[in-house]
Structure 1
Amino acid sequence: MDVTIKSLDGKDAGTATLADDIFGLEPREDILQRMVRWQLAKRQQGSHQTLGRAEIARTGAKLYRQKGTGRARHGSARAPQFRGGGKAHGPVSRSHAHDLPKKVRALALRHALSAKAKSGGIVVIDELKAAEGKTKAMVKTFADLGLTNALFIGGAELDANFTRSARNIPQMDVLPVQGINVYDILRRQTLVLSKAAVEALEERFK
């Protein structure tokens, strides 16, 4: 699959051939769904918790005698039906993460890249570098390129000026190639790859 490489100022900077085994697969929605679900479950905080009756700091004495009062046979003020008692079946701190095979995760990334390529949502830039870290200048650059909702994937190390100028722009994300993931690819309309990112991805899946 051949694509035109562009520079940040909108000029053509040559062509590149994208590997068909990474960018040319027929996307499978079931694999992408499993991967997104795995990512969202893994990052879910899961720290919400209430106190059960065993954790309430309250007297353990019996409320009143067992028989002869005409009332119910209560034995603890920590019971859920009393004000100040423990919560019945409340949430507890836990991890929401579940397992997903490493091969499925790798396949999902290739399918996500292929889905973007099939929809025409991939742009290859020669270098993600900016002369100065000014957001106003970068907004104009993105507007000239026709980018309104994009994920930028740079090389192993990102240019500080480019990152600084792009990070405050709404609906624009910047990640190094090590941080590329299915969820961020799918949530943005356009995937912008640097030449270094394309080479790193092809080396990774070789």
Structure 2
Amino acid sequence: MPKLAVYNVSGQQVSEMELQENVFGIEVNQHVLYEAVKNQLANRRQGTQSAKTRSEVRGGGRKPWKQKGTGRARHGTIRSPLWVGGGVTFAPKPRDYSYTLPKKVKRLAMKSALTSKVNANEMVVVDELSLEAPKTKEMVAILKNLNADKKALIVIDEKNEAVLRSAKNIPGVQTAFVNTLNVYDILNHDKFIITKDAVQKVEEVYA
């Protein structure tokens, strides 16, 4: 069963916490992580790209010159894909790129992502994260104390307006709740900072 130190906002260790092995100590499945990230990025795509085919481009109704006898190549329309200003061959059209992954694959991907952060010593458990008022300066100091002053994902168990607003303007820092946690955000940040209460909620959901 993996154990992690629990820190306060000053960066001092206050206790230790045992993590559930079936959530934070499984064998990391790299292929499932790849599938989960690919799925998330595909679902984010707007799919609004569009170009016109030869039948949709304006003009080109008349044959530019007669078929034979001119010494030039034969053409039927100036809007052929071969011509400048012509249509696009196999033009992209608006489409929906989203698809769903099986629930078991999603769960395994989440557990693999959490385990990978524990294995890489990039997971930091905080006993409590609360601020009296929104202060970006205070949040920057807290992150520095926790050696997480680069890209960091802060996970809290419930909405805390002061924490959310304090972290909002720090480049590379993102906040999330337990119910909005996803594989891409976990893997995309160098440090995974999570409160003790949030760890327990994650274990309740994924154990």
TM-score, structure 1 as length reference: 0.88
Partner SS for 2:134? coil
Amino acid at match of 1:130: L
For 1:64-143, list aligned pairs within 5 A: 64-143=65-144
C-alpha contact 2:123 2:193 (8 A) present in aligned 1: yes
Q: For residues 146 and 18 of structure 2, what CA distance do their matches in structure 1 show?
A: 21
| Partner SS for 1:4 | strand
8 A Cα contact 1:128 1:159, kept in partner: no
**In terms of mean alpha carbon deviation, does 74-83 or 160-169 score higher?**
74-83
Normalising by structure 2, report the TM-score. 0.88
Q: CA RMSD in A?
A: 2.0
Match of 2:187 in 1: 186
The answer for the alignment partner of 1:21 in structure 2 is: 22
User: What amino acid maps onto 1:84 in structure 2?
Assistant: G
User: What is the CA-CA distance between 1:47 and the residue it aligns to?
Assistant: 2.4
Aligned mates of 1:82, 1:116 — CA distance in 2: 54
Q: CA deviation at 1:111?
A: 0.8
| Partner in structure 1 of residue 31 of structure 2 | 30
Q: Which residue of 2 aligns with 1:204?
A: 205
Structure 1 partner of 2:164: 163
Range with greater deviation from structure 2 (70-79 or 91-100): 91-100
Check whether the contact 1:42–1:96 (CA below 8 A) recurs between aligned residues. Answer: yes
Listed one character per residue, the Cα deviations across residues 167-186 of structure 1 (whole Å, up to 9, x for unaligned) are 21122111111111111111
Question: Aligned AA for 1:123?
Answer: V
Structure 2 CA distance, aligned partners of 1:178 and 1:118?
A: 23
Indicate if the aligned counterparts of 1:22 and 1:110 stay in contact, CA closer than 8 A.
yes
Q: Which amino acid letter does the alignment assign opposite residue 128 of structure 1? A: L
- Cα contact 2:23–2:114 (8 A) shared by 1: yes
Q: Distance between the aligned counterparts of 2:113 and 2:170, measured in 1?
A: 24
Question: After the TM superposition, which of the residue ranges 142-151 and 92-101 deviates more from structure 2?
Answer: 92-101
* Aligned partner of residue 175 in structure 1, secondary structure: strand
Q: How far apart are 1:59 and its partner, in Å?
A: 4.1
Aligned to 2:154: 152
Write the distance in 1 (CA, Å) between the matches of 2:33 and 2:142.
32
**Residue type at the aligned position of 1:203:** E
Per-residue Cα deviation, 1:69-105 (whole angstroms, up to 9, x for no partner): 3333322222122232112234333333344322111
- Residue 114 of structure 1: CA displacement? 0.9
Q: Which structure 2 residue ranges, 5 or more long, are not aligned?
A: none
Give the C-alpha shift of residue 2 in structure 1. Answer: 3.0
Residue 9 (structure 1) shift: 3.0
Q: Is the 8 A contact 1:35 1:182 kept in 2?
A: yes
Aligned identity (percent) is 37
